[in-house]
């Protein structure tokens, strides 16, 4: 029950690139955790990089040393041609694994057939959960099951799953749905329920937050309850509870550690990178000119020699495309 789907194995190791294909969606989930920056915006991101053309996309795969990709949104089926275009590009890389997150609303046999040419693993987000009603809508559940069953025409059962937030007061409904859908899927991913700037009004009315203020109280507890219930019933599924801690302190950190860095940089244990920087061009070849930030990255030896003559800074930042600085310190001679 605790084995991971193939896509999750890449993710935990930091090898997964996240392709955010669009912020436009076929529905309006009350618990959606997208930021204002991305929600309903038709912009493509690969990790932190805005993608304007195929060259940008391929560059991000190489710079992040990705061996796999998760395609998300919004709803990738709203822009199916674009989704297929980038999936095909990613398959240029040998043994590159791709999984996709799909709301069930626009799922059809024809759409799944097109996706199956490039997508290795498919994760459905059921329509019934969108309702804020405390009771299950049997018609909606039946429709979800019929659409998810279509994936068996193109995928092995182990490569079909559902993924949804672990909403504490929906635990019984989620359990009932998993039992009903279990003959047609190979795995279930339950994500710790998180707060965002776009769902905060809906969340704080109904739920309490854990210490730290961005995860919902009892979400993990409800997930553990559900895992125990499924184990007792001996449901033959791979079921995983993905916590915010796993995402932030393992997946993300491991991705940072794999990311390429500029010459003369030094990685930290957390995956950040430190550079010795000058904003004055040195009379030496022992440096790298950083065009993006218009600065000179120095070797340790050159920085030591120049420290008496000019200002040298020790900069710590993320190695990702946005290269957000976490600390800047002027060195003293």
Residue 159 has pLDDT above 70, yes or no: yes
Q: How confident is the model at residue 270 (pLDDT cuts 50, 70, 90)?
A: very high
Fill in the DSSP letter of residue 332: -
* C-beta separation of 24 from 78 below 8 A: yes
Note the pLDDT tens digit of each residue in 200-246. 988 888 899 998 778 999 999 999 999 999 999 988 899 999 999 99
Note the pLDDT tens digit of each residue in 19-38. 999 999 998 888 998 999 99
Residue 260 has pLDDT above 80, yes or no: yes
Token pair for residue 148? 């998810």
Q: How confident is the model at residue 259 (pLDDT cuts 50, 70, 90)?
A: very high
State the alpha helices, DSSP H only, in 125-170.
138-149
CB crowding 235-262: b at 16 or more within 10 Å, else e: bebbbbbbbbebbeeebbebbbbbbebe
Q: What is the DSSP track for 163-222?
A: EEEE-GGGHHHHHHHHHHHGGG-SEEEEEEPB--TTTHHHHHHH--B-TTSSBBTTHHHH
Residue 134 has pLDDT above 60, yes or no: no
Q: How confident is the model at residue 74 (pLDDT cuts 50, 70, 90)?
A: very high
Q: How confident is the model at residue 254 (pLDDT cuts 50, 70, 90)?
A: very high
Residue 1 has pLDDT above 60, yes or no: no
What is the per-residue pLDDT for 123? 98
| Distance between CA atoms of residues 220 and 115, nearest Å | 33
Mean of the per-residue pLDDT values for the chain?
A: 94
Edge-to-edge strand list for the sheet holding 238-242 = 49-50, 45-46, 16-20, 68-72, 97-103, 121-125, 160-166, 187-192, 238-242
Residues 6+ apart with CB under 8 A from 129: 29, 164, 167, 170, 173, 174
What is the per-residue pLDDT for 133? 56
- Average pLDDT on 313-328 reads 97
- Average pLDDT on 248-271 reads 95
- 3-state SS, residue 106: coil
Residues 6+ apart with CB under 8 A from 40: 23, 24, 25
- R_g over Cα of the chain: 23
Note the pLDDT tens digit of each residue in 104-127. 999 999 999 999 999 999 999 999
Residue 146 has pLDDT above 80, yes or no: yes
| DSSP collapsed to 3 states, 293-330 | CCEEEECHHHHHHHCCCCCCEEEEECCCCCCCEEEEEE
Q: How confident is the model at residue 278 (pLDDT cuts 50, 70, 90)?
A: very high
Residue 131 has pLDDT above 90, yes or no: no
Residue 135 has pLDDT above 80, yes or no: no
* Strand 45-46 to 16-20 pairing: antiparallel
């Amino acid at each position: 029950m605790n084995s991971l789907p193939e896509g999750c194995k890449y993710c935990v190791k930091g090898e997964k690139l996240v392709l955010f294909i669009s912020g436009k969606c076929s529905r309006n989930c009350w618990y959606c955790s997208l930021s204002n920056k991305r929600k309903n915006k038709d912009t493509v991101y690969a990790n932190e990089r805005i993608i304007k053309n195929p060259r940008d996309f391929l560059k991000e795969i190489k710079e992040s040393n990705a061996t796999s990709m998760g395609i998300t949104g919004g709803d990738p089926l709203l822009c199916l041609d674009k989704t297929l275009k980038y999936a095909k590009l990613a398959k240029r890389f040998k043994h590159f694994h791709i999984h996709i997150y799909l709301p069930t609303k626009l799922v059809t046999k024809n759409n799944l057939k097109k996706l199956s040419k490039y997508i290795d693993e498919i994760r459905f987000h059921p329509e019934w959960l969108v309702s804020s009603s405390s009771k299950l809508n049997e018609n909606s559940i039946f429709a979800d099951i019929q659409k998810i069953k279509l994936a068996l025409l193109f995928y092995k059962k182990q490569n079909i799953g559902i993924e949804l937030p672990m909403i504490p007061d929906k635990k019984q409904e989620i359990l009932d749905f998993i039992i009903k859908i279990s003959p047609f899927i190979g795995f279930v991913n339950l994500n710790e329920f998180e707060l965002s700037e776009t769902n905060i009004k809906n969340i704080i009315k109904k739920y309490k937050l854990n210490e730290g203020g961005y995860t919902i109280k009892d979400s993990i507890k409800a997930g553990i309850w559900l895992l125990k219930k499924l184990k007792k019933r001996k449901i033959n599924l791979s079921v995983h509870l993905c916590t915010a801690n796993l995402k932030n302190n393992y997946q993300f950190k491991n991705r940072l550690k794999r990311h390429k860095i500029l010459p003369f940089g030094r990685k930290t244990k957390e995956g950040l990178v430190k550079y010795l920087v000058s904003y004055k061009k040195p009379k030496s070849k022992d440096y790298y000119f950083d065009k993006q930030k218009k600065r000179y990255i120095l070797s340790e030896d050159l920085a030591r020699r120049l420290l008496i003559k000019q200002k040298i800074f020790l900069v710590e930042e993320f190695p990702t495309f946005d290269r957000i600085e976490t600390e800047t310190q002027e060195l003293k001679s």
